[in-house]
Structure 1
Amino acid sequence: MKTLCMDSAHKHLIFVLLEDGNVVASLAQECWKRQSETLFPALIALMEEAHWKADDIDEVVITDGPGSYTGVRIAMTVAKVLCTRKHIPLYCISTLQLYAGMHPHTFVMLDARSSRAYTALLDEGKFLLDEGIMTLDEVKAYLKDKDVRVVGETELIDLAHEDVDFVENFQALRPLARRIDNVHTLTPRYLKENDAYLVK
């Protein structure tokens, strides 16, 4: 089983090629607002490195948000076209799940602009606190006296940054990905305040 995993929802462009659950090749690089121009050359190079062809792919896993209005759509559009053309299944995980991975008690925060953050609390890939948008003051108040790992754009609240292993997280989260029954109806999830990325 050959699986193509993709994320372009936030600041990074991430590809993971899995074969029977094992990582064959991967790429995770920061390219804020350059995902669209970088995606195809990077994916082609990675496929060549793995000696894969497009017809070899058996399934696709992507993140469906929350994230950048344009960013979420980039990987999603490629995935929808590929899965429709090849009649292969498409699966999704949350962008915040990808940041948390399978670690216990992990709070994720990503910049949603205007002193706000996309947030969630997860435990081994499952949500303890649903995705939402908090002000940075609300994030600080929520985290006060909580013994949790905090990842994402922690510098927004003056916490030390912890690197995230996106490749390991995609691999570990694959069993939790939800299958999309109708690829054509899949839309990005921007949460209720879908203008969050449109204002600075």
Structure 2
Amino acid sequence: MKYVCMDTSHRHLVIALIEDQTVVAGCAIPSWKKQSETIFPKWIELMDQAGWQASQIGALVVSVGPGSYTGVRIAMTIAKVFATTRNVPLYTLSTLQLYAGMMENAYVMLDARSNRAYVGKLHNGVFIEEPSIKTLDEIKAEQNDDLNLIGDLDLLGMPKTEVDFVANFCDLKPLWQLVQNPHTLVPCYLKEQSAYLVK
């Protein structure tokens, strides 16, 4: 089966075209606040590269956040419309899972503004602690040698880590969650909408 996977929840535009267990084409482009402008041209480019037709797409996969209030909704809205109009399955994945991939003892942190971050502890793609929002001081206090930090580590004065988002989409396939009713799918924000307006 041919799958189109999308993530616009944070700093990148990620699109992965996967056939069965193999990545056929993909991109992960820094596109902060530009995902809506670039997602369709890149999708078309990758479809042409793979030689796929829209009618061949068997299912879609989309990240549900946490992340940018507007960003999360870009890929999700496109995926919901495509899945419902074409009557194909829709799967979801947490943005924190997408960052961690199948890493052992991963601690993902993504900028949530105001000296806070979305965090999640995962092992082989599975949450071992529920996603939450913590202050940078709380995150610093939790650091230890057993955790593999990934994400916006510059918030802690550390180099950012490289993430192979396209490969992670494929590796995490066993953990994709089937959406029973795409109309009821909502983003995972972890905080109130008003908090996203803080600059």
| In structure 1, distance between residues paired with 2:99 and 2:195 | 19
Match of 1:197 in 2: 196
| In structure 2, distance between residues paired with 1:25 and 1:51 | 10
Gap change, CA 1:119 and 1:196, over 3 Å in 2: farther
Following superposition, the deviation at residue 86 of structure 1 comes to: 1.0
Equivalent pair of 1:64/1:92 in contact (CA under 8 Å): yes
**TM-score, normalised on structure 2?**
0.97
Equivalent pair of 1:3/1:59 in contact (CA under 8 Å): yes
Match of 1:31 in 2: 31
Structure 1, gaps ≥5 residues long: none
Residues 132-169 of structure 1, C-alpha deviations (whole Å, 9 max, x = no match): 000100110111x3421101000101122220111111
The aligned amino acid for 1:84 is T
| In structure 1, distance between residues paired with 2:192 and 2:70 | 15
Match of 2:118 in 1: 118
| In structure 1, distance between residues paired with 2:195 and 2:148 | 25
Residues 16-45 of structure 1, C-alpha deviations (whole Å, 9 max, x = no match): 001111010001100000000111111111
SS for the counterpart of 2:113 is coil
Match of 2:129 in 1: 129
Matched, 1:80 2:84: no
Aligned length: 199
Matched, 1:165 2:167: no
| In structure 2, distance between residues paired with 1:77 and 1:10 | 15
Equivalent pair of 1:84/1:183 in contact (CA under 8 Å): yes
Match of 1:95 in 2: 95
SS for the counterpart of 2:174 is helix
Moved more, 187-196 or 149-158: 187-196
Match of 2:147 in 1: 148
| In structure 2, distance between residues paired with 1:58 and 1:106 | 31
1:31-50 matched pairs, under 5 angstroms: 31-50=31-50
Following superposition, the deviation at residue 197 of structure 1 comes to: 2.7
SS for the counterpart of 1:25 is strand
Moved more, 96-105 or 161-170: 161-170
Following superposition, the deviation at residue 195 of structure 1 comes to: 3.5
Match of 2:178 in 1: 179
Match of 1:106 in 2: 106
Matched, 1:68 2:99: no
Cα RMSD after superposing both structures? 1.0
Tell me which stretches of 4 or more aligned residues in structure 1 moved more than 4 Å.
none
| In structure 1, distance between residues paired with 2:194 and 2:137 | 20
| In structure 1, distance between residues paired with 2:14 and 2:78 | 13
